[in-house]
Amino acid sequence: MSNILHPNLNFKEPTLDVRGKPNKRWRSAFAAIYSARALYSLLNQKKEKRRKLPVPSSSPSYVVLNVKPEAFSSIDQTTLTSIAKEKNLDLLLQFGGIEGVVGALETDIKNGIGGAVQDVALRREAFGSNTYQRPRAKSLIQFLVKASKNHTVTLLLLFAALSLGFGIKEHGLKEGWYDGGSIFVAVILAISVAAVSNLRQNSLFETLSKVSSNINVEVIRDGHRQQISIFEIVVGDVVCLIIGDQVPADGLFLDGHSLKVDESCLTGESEHVEINSRHNPFLFSGTKVVHGYAQMLVTSVGMNTTWGELMSTISRDINEQTPLQARLNKFTSSIGKAGLAVSFLVVVAMLVRYFTGNTENEKGDQEFIARSTKVDDMVNSMVRIIATAVTIGLVAIPEGLPLAVAVILSYSMNRMMADQAMVRKLSACETMGSATTICTDKTGTLTLNQMKVTKFWLGKSHVDDSSSISKNLLNLIRQGIALNTSGSNYRATSGSTLLEFYGSPTEKAILSWAVQELDNMKMETLKKNCTILHVEAFNSEKKRSGVSIRSKADNTIHVHWKGAAEIILAMCSSYYDASGSTNDMDDDERTIFEQIIEGMAASSLRCLALAHIQIPDDQEEHDIGVGPPQKLIKEDSLSLIGLVGIKDPCRPRVRKVVEDCQSAGVSVRMITGDNVFTARAIATECRILRPDQDMNDELVVEGKVFRNYTQDERMEKVDKILVMARSSPFDELLMVQCLKQKGHVVAVIGDGTNDAPALKEADIGLCMGKQGTEVAKESSDIIILDDSFASIATVLGWGRCVYNNIQKIIQLKLTVIIAALVINVVAAVSDHEIPFTVLKLLWVNLTMDTLGALALAIEQPTKDLMEKPPVSLLTQPLITNIMWRNILVQALYQIVVILILQFSGESILGVNKKVKDTMILNTSVLCQVFNQVNARKLEKKNVFKGMHKNKLFLGIIGITIILEVIVVESLSKFVDTKRLSLGQWCACMGIAVLSLPIGWVVKCIHV
């Protein structure tokens, strides 16, 4: 650090004016501290070189002593941590309360910290950064050890050791180590492949974890609101919190209304905690805002918070087992047990034949003769029989399937990330493919969430120009908009006339309209002229917000309400006209207002209403302080000010995506808080509803109606409901639960805190990444990073592709297992050498489990997949009748061909035994290569469609053939093969290629 600051040694530190402006003191402190450190470091360097450094006339220690008290010296991190973690109100009061801490941290309640680079660096140096120490990632060695702790691997290593020992004994060290040593190498290679795959998957999860934890936070710096990364927050920052936000650090409540947080992540208590400046101003990192809004002062960050300490001890669990993996494990276990049973029977059969004298040695003599056979010969025979049985048992263990599935899931996660879908839960990759229904929110999901006020009705008249509104009424409208909001506006830069708006999209739309259309509304002036008495923050259940204020000019109390049009209308008994006069609202006029609301809703507008009432003097005391909470703001006998229509355009391509999902057998349902008319109009625009459909109660229903159904009625009607309007979070959750009870696999798409319960309950929860709240993201399984609804169809396609690719690998693997098992059993029982030794079997498995799995894992989603109905992971069989048809025919072909070569190959081909064995291995591997091409399409006859586009698939096929050539032609000593002539290669290739026409013919058989 000292080297960096050397150019600054010319600063005149003794002349620092510590009595200057308070907001400049931190600069003095920063310069003094770092200049002093630079001088100290320089002094040490000179001492090491045994040189004397001239002492400056102004001692650095003198400068530090004079300036250091101004650099956060009145409070330290230990004290700040104690105040927050221990909720120590007494200690907080000792420092002058929240205002005292604000002063000690050199910040400003209204404008925040300065935000200059030096200021942020000084705070980070003094109080730490908002990061935590992550547990050290597992190394390759740890994954190698884990991969080796496998029953199959243990059995192979034991067999390799026995083979090595007996080989050296029989053939000497020079020749006898080949078989055993080669098995060791093959096993180590298989372990390495598994370890590297797990390491890459772990690395991917770490990357995703960092991306998901890097959330944006809104802070005030130098008087301006701005979005920064959560990792850039420093002590002293003023953070703005709204419903759905994650509290980014420990801190103190500065200002806000109706703030409640969920602290269950720290305390385990599900009850929400109320935060206020008097009794509980303490906010903790990692908790979630569930109600209200506020500004907080950051007092502790990173490892100085309880959340930081907790997260530093938690590592992401990459051992999560998906439902499909669980089924595969059972399937693998069943096949393994069957193989062991077969190998046991083979051992018994071979032992009986051996001890009854029905086996012959290489010379044609009887192998076992009672009382004549040497013990050494008997032991060798026993080892050979056991080796044969072990080989048969190993054939039946599909140990490569879990690795193949891991490769598919890892690859799919990578590709989905590239397609702007971040998978937070591994099982979501496959579950999404079996989704039968999608329940989607409207705002921000089907629509852009870019709202703009397009219509305003004052009384019963449509208003285009604010000049026609009376001055007093115009002031009331401004007052209701400026003070009854969780949004705000700021100048873009100092002295600029351009305003920036902050808050929810709805709040920003109304504020922008008020500033531009209502004669340049000035929020700051209106706030200064009034005192806020009580606020009821907006929530998704009540769908309204209210505020009571006292005017400083005449000391009168006013109540303003804003919210869903029909809800506010029901609270009104009169209305204002353009002149500012109030008129009683009878039933006829109420009907007129309802028709206006329906008309705007039919135009796909979100309808909000503004209402007001002035509290008479004789009711002031009851309504502002001593009554029960629900009476703090008057809710009835209001006067309707006006109706606001807000346009939120549909996302591009949303109609096509909905139609694609419907053609894939996935029904799309919209659940929204808007009224039934707006919901119906948007649903029709998005093609969730067709224009020619009868809009009856079975298709479109309101949340309260659905809620009031009996359980039987809900279960009867839920399949038919496509739109739910005016829904609460409970209604959305109830619909998801009913759909799941009906057997649906439910995907829920949302972005708000109100969607969180349904996102958690759903089989797959999807959240929009840009506009989604942190609560919604934490409740979801997949995050759509680009907020594009078109990505939903992409995720659906990848989900189906994952399942389809796994089925392809199962088909390929089972074909190899059945063929090899039958061939080895028949050969062993017939007193012939088994054609597939352990080493050869390992090579076949390695090519299929690694290269074969990778070739099929990288298959892309196709249109064919989106034309099929969803596949149930729980009820439908993992291996379909179509797959059994393909498996049995291909396995039968390979069995017939290999057994003919085994028993008659020498005479048919005119070759010796070693060449015959090599041709058997070569033919078997090449059959699997061409069977990979067959496996690309489980049902379609044209297996070559689209293959030219998949360069990687073609490359893997080519690599497999090249490796086979190397094994046969160059590694004959290790694999016990013989080099083949061109004609013999062509014969093997010709036999293998026949797998393709056989595959085409068998697909003509309907099952």
Residue 18: count of CB within 10 angstroms of its CB:
13
For residues 495 and 499, give the distance between their C-alpha atoms in angstroms, rounded to a whole number: 11
- AA letter at 69: P
Answer yes or no: 441 catalytic: yes
- 804 by Cβ neighbours in 10 Å (0-12 / 13-18 / 19+) ranks as buried
Distance (Å, whole) CA 918 – CA 920: 5
- What distances in angstroms separate CA 935 from CA 73, 760, 945, one per listed residue? 71, 36, 12
C-alpha closest to that of 873 among 779, 803, 977: 803
As a whole number of angstroms, the distance between CA 240 and CA 252 comes to 12
Structure-block tokens of residue 500: 């920036």
Distance from C-alpha of 78 to C-alpha of 92, rounded to nearest angstrom: 13
- Residue carrying the six token digits 């004669």: 519
Interatomic CA distance for residues 64 and 82, integer angstroms: 27
For 713, half-sphere exposure in the C-beta direction (CA atoms, 13 angstrom radius) is: 9
Contact call for residues 228 and 116 (beta carbons, < 8 A):
no
Residue located via tokens 């804003």: 562
Q: What share of the chain is helix, strand, coil (3-state, %, to 5)?
A: 55, 15, 30
Catalytic residue among 237, 262, 419, 441: 441
The residues, any chain, with a CB within 8 Å of residue 556's CB and separated by 6 or more, are: 550, 614, 615
Closest CA to 230 of 298, 319, 360, 130: 130
Kind of pairing between the strands at 572-576 and 638-647: parallel
Q: Which residues contact 793 (CB under 8 A, 6 or more apart)?
A: 657, 660, 661, 866
Pair 554, 568: CB distance under 8 Å:
no
Q: Contact 185/160 with Cβ under 8 angstroms?
A: no
Backbone angles phi, psi at 260, to 5 degrees: -135, 140
Residues ≥6 apart with Cβ < 8 Å to 939? 882, 1003
Side chain identity at residue 438, one-letter code: I
Q: Which residues are catalytic?
A: 441
